[in-house]
Chain A
Amino acid sequence: MTQADLDILHAFVSDSLSPEAFPRLESLLRTSPRARRTLRGFTLVEEGLGDIAEERFFDALKPEIRRPQPVAPASQPASRRWPRPLSLPSLRSIGSRRLALTALLVASIAIALLVSQRLRWAGGPAGFPAGAVCQIAALSNVVWSAEVAPWHEADGLQAGDTLALDSGLIELAFACGATVVLEGPATFAAADGSRGVLSLGRLAASLENPTAPFAIETPSALVTDRGTQFGVEVDAAGTTEVRVFAGLVDLAPLASLGTATPLRLAAGHAGAVDHGGSMSTIDAPAPKRFVLTVPRPKKTSPRLLPFRWDAAAAETIYADTLIGAGPLAGSQPAGQASGDAWVAPGTGWQRDPDSAALKVTTTGAALLPFVPEQGRLYRLSVTMRIVSGGIGWGAIGFASAANPRLATLDHAWMLQRQQTTAMPNAAYAGPQTAGELPAGDRLTGEQVRTVVLDTTGNRWRAYFLAGDTLVGECTLDPPAEPITHVAIAVFPNTVAFFHDFSLQVQPAAP
């Protein structure tokens, strides 16, 4: 590399690169491993000097202010913990530095609090889908209204998503910690992480350890929960009836919010707002039974899969034994009419006649075009054997880009590692873990790996199998990039064999 090239790399790291020099930078990074290594080196220096300056800056202010000690991992080099004090340059007075430091500390504390709060708010229940305001925690005997597509357990509802059921029970977990059990017939919409809209039917809400007030809006009223249990029922005329089982609830006519004083109801009491906005208490309310928790079904057998696959009804989209000789790249799977050919690395991905399989020795992916349609069940599978690589892996799944140099599977995918201790059979939805077999059940050696993509519901789901064993399942969040390919991938320093690749489809099960 020339000095000019080094200057370009440095300019990029220090954010002073001109747009004219950008093509040269990309060319360098595309073709030169040394340039990429140097770029990493410059970022390390940039980042490291920031740390060094910060540490020595705080050290120089001792004993007035001590830098808050971070958690120091045991592997951290001793020289990184507390370096020797160094006198500050006399460019600015210590007084102005103290002011700057004070501002910095105040800002840091504020940011830390903000981040902490945001982290807590973003959390919700474990496994809460990204972007969702609530999640379906359980379903029982639900019959969906004809005009809506069905939802599944663990689906996340985003603001505005509506549930309409003729009968049955649905339990929803809201981001604020509230639980709602909806009884059909009912129509309910998620408004945000602490608010739902009940248009018709009945529900019971529980809010323990609230992080925010929880509210139910109806056609006639707003019911605000303050850490309690209550039931709400809305009839066809729009009249709202509220019963409080524990704690306190505020009931207010929707038409006069902000002007009328809410009716505060305590445990054992009930109130109502009719469609005209008239509010009243109900003395000695007749007993009504609200369901507070949806009963969970007993655990199913591992072999009882959560989808119905009818092999006789399946149609083949791709089928390739991967047996033969020569590079995989450019070859066509047998028996498919589209003429699509494998996109794969030119080297290190060879059909190996000796092993009657595809032998892979370099990082990358082999891809075939595929765009899923709504209302289908797809079954993608391959037989896989990983013979070396330690924590490296071979994988099968769905991807949104066709770059054979990258082992990037950014939708539903599952891997197999050679080593058997650290997640050797893991399944993923993008970066999120979607399943792993228990330690005692982990599978090694040659196995059929299958990813089933179910597009029949509002939220697409994926199921992952190693052999006949269900490894995991997940809901796929609406992707930033749509699925465009199916793929086999290998990463890195791994030798893997694949054979009998197939992608099949069948219409939704009745």
Chain B
Amino acid sequence: MHDELHDAFLRLFTSHEPKLRAFVRSCLPRRQDADEVMQEVSLVAWRKFGDLDDRSRFGPWATLIARYEVLKYRRTYARDRLVLDEAIIATLADEAAAELSLHDRRLAALDSCFDKLPEQRRQLVIAAYTPGVSQKNLASQLNRSEGALYQLLSRIRQELWRCVERSLASETPAQ
């Protein structure tokens, strides 16, 4: 019984993890903050999973837990980190929850936009985001300063987001 519960939880959590993570990062944009909260979300969700009567509601249920954990995290670290005001985080959480249904479309648009980048920039992005590769090392191998590499990646990211927005705006609304 316990194993069945555990397996069911892992299946559901794995399938919802990308959206949950997107939600958490929308409230706490820094990666390390999101990592810590996601760890707590997975543990709290597992602890409470036995109480979830309708597993088809796992997504909204887990999002509610994530929202709670985000606010808890913010309160815990408000004094010693650059953490956004609670009202801002809560507004971000509300808006992120309302936009979760767009997540998959945005990711698909990002894939498409990424493919439109010049080959050299695609390779640069892959190198920069490959696990274990630091920007400092990458800049050194490219014979660029770290600041120059940061600026270049910053422009690429902003360009990609503008492309995603344009893509979604040009989509025909679903009937």
Residues on A lying within 8 angstroms of B by beta carbon are: 6-7, 10, 12-17, 19, 22, 25-26, 29-30, 33, 36-54, 56-57, 70-73, 75-77, 79-80, 83, 86-89, 91-92, 97, 100, 103-104, 115, 118-120, 122-128, 130, 209, 363, 391, 401, 403, 405-408, 410, 422-423, 430-434, 436, 480-481, 491-492
Please state if B123 and A44 are interface contacts (CB–CB under 8 Å): no
B85 at the interface (CB under 8 A from A): yes
A52 to B157, CA, bound (A): 13
Contacting residues, chain A, for B14 (C-beta < 8 A): 70-71
Please state if B127 and A89 are interface contacts (CB–CB under 8 Å): yes
- Known contacts A79-B111, A436-B53, A42 near B29 by CB under 8 Å: yes
Please state if A13 and B46 are interface contacts (CB–CB under 8 Å): no
| Minimal Cβ-Cβ distance residue in B for A472 | B51
Residue pairs across A and B with Cβ atoms less than 8 A apart, 18 shown, are: A10-B154, A10-B157, A12-B30, A36-B91, A40-B26, A41-B106, A46-B25, A80-B108, A86-B123, A89-B127, A123-B46, A123-B47, A124-B47, A127-B50, A405-B91, A430-B68, A432-B48, A433-B52
| Minimal Cβ-Cβ distance residue in A for B112 | A79
B36 at the interface (CB under 8 A from A): no
Please state if B22 and A36 are interface contacts (CB–CB under 8 Å): no
Contacting residues, chain B, for A405 (C-beta < 8 A): 87, 90-91
Please state if B46 and A122 are interface contacts (CB–CB under 8 Å): yes
A48 to B98, CA, bound (A): 19
Please state if A130 and B29 are interface contacts (CB–CB under 8 Å): no
Please state if A119 and B51 are interface contacts (CB–CB under 8 Å): no
Partner of B123, one of A83, A88, A124: A88
By size class, the interface of chain B is 35 or more
Please state if B127 and A40 are interface contacts (CB–CB under 8 Å): no
B11-30 contacts to A, CB under 8 A, are 11, 14-16, 18, 21-22, 25-26, 29-30
| Minimal Cβ-Cβ distance residue in A for B41 | A431
Partner of B43, one of A17, A36, A76, A118: A118
Contacting residues, chain B, for A51 (C-beta < 8 A): 18, 107
A10 to B30, CA, bound (A): 10
A53 to B160, CA, bound (A): 15
B29-65 contacts to A, CB under 8 A, are 29-32, 42-44, 46-54, 56-57, 60-61, 64-65
Please state if B130 and A408 are interface contacts (CB–CB under 8 Å): no
Please state if B25 and A47 are interface contacts (CB–CB under 8 Å): yes
Contact with A along B137-164 (1 / 0, CB 8 A): 0100110000000100010011011001
Please state if A52 and B111 are interface contacts (CB–CB under 8 Å): yes
**B26 to nearest A CB, angstroms?**
5
Contacting residues, chain A, for B67 (C-beta < 8 A): 431
Please state if A73 and B15 are interface contacts (CB–CB under 8 Å): yes
- Known contacts A89-B127, A480-B72, A40 near B95 by CB under 8 Å: yes
**A17 to nearest B CB, angstroms?**
7
**A82 to nearest B CB, angstroms?**
11
Please state if A431 and B112 are interface contacts (CB–CB under 8 Å): no
Contacting residues, chain A, for B68 (C-beta < 8 A): 410, 430-431
- Known contacts A40-B92, A70-B14, A15 near B32 by CB under 8 Å: yes
Contacting residues, chain B, for A434 (C-beta < 8 A): 51
**A466 to nearest B CB, angstroms?**
16
New A-B contacts (5) at CB < 8 Å, excluding given A22-B82, A29-B92, A30-B88: A42-B161, A49-B110, A49-B157, A71-B15, A491-B94
Contacting residues, chain A, for B82 (C-beta < 8 A): 17, 19, 22
- Known contacts A19-B82, A422-B57, A42 near B157 by CB under 8 Å: yes
**A104 to nearest B CB, angstroms?**
5
Partner of B51, one of A79, A115, A118, A126: A126
Contacting residues, chain B, for A123 (C-beta < 8 A): 2, 6, 46-47
